[in-house]
Amino acid sequence: MTGVQTCALPISLTHVGELVAFNVYVTQLIWPLRALGFVIAMGQRAVAAGERVAEVLDARPAITEPARPVPLPDRPRGEVRFEQVRFAYPSAHIGTGRAVLDGFDLVITPGETVALVGATGSGKSTVPRLLARFYDVGAGTVRLDGVDVRDLSLGDLRRAVGIVFEESFLFTDSLGANIAFADPTAGDDAIGEAARLDRKSTRLNSSHIPL
């Protein structure tokens, strides 16, 4: 007849106080560890962002000031001329290698309104960008009041040319501040006149109409 033999093994029981203390320590460590992981993650993002900012700051502008800028006439007329202009976007731009404009001629006399009509990608938006010298032409000349835009200082040129693109954008500021973005010192009268010219006859206050 067989029997089952049992033996008692010594079991070490942890005191209740030690168990409670251990759990408290673990609980106290959770948030510092999470905060440390958050700081490490944010540090990695900051390093990546810093590298991108450094790339922008180190970049050399493709459009530079002329060595000897020519001033616009004392009484600007606003005549625009494109003479045998050829242009293709640089390598980083979509549509590389294809000339958007080739042998393009256009004369806009002072006070004249001209509409450029064409298919998507035909170069309609390129024309005002070349006038404001966001890019330089590959061949030909763009003139404002008889002066090649490449001979004008960028400040004079872009004060003389205004562009309103199809994509509207408003800063998180008052309507008046958005209208006066190009000239923050503009007063209420100038802002109101600009609004009237844009068919917005509402009386604006540059400090009391938040968006």
The string of pLDDT tens digits covering residues 131-175 is 999 999 989 999 999 899 999 999 888 888 888 777 778 888 888
Helices (H), 59-185: 126-131, 154-160, 175-179
Q: Which residues of the chain have pLDDT under 70?
A: 1-14, 91-97, 199-211
Could you tell me the two tokens for 11? 């079991």
Please say whether the beta carbons of 145 and 71 come within 8 A. no
Residue 140 has a pLDDT of: 92
Residue 205 has a pLDDT of: 46
Residue 3 has a pLDDT of: 52
Please say whether the beta carbons of 182 and 155 come within 8 A. no
Please say whether the beta carbons of 65 and 149 come within 8 A. no
How far is 117 from 66, CA to CA, in rounded Å? 33
How far is 28 from 25, CA to CA, in rounded Å? 5
How far is 208 from 15, CA to CA, in rounded Å? 68
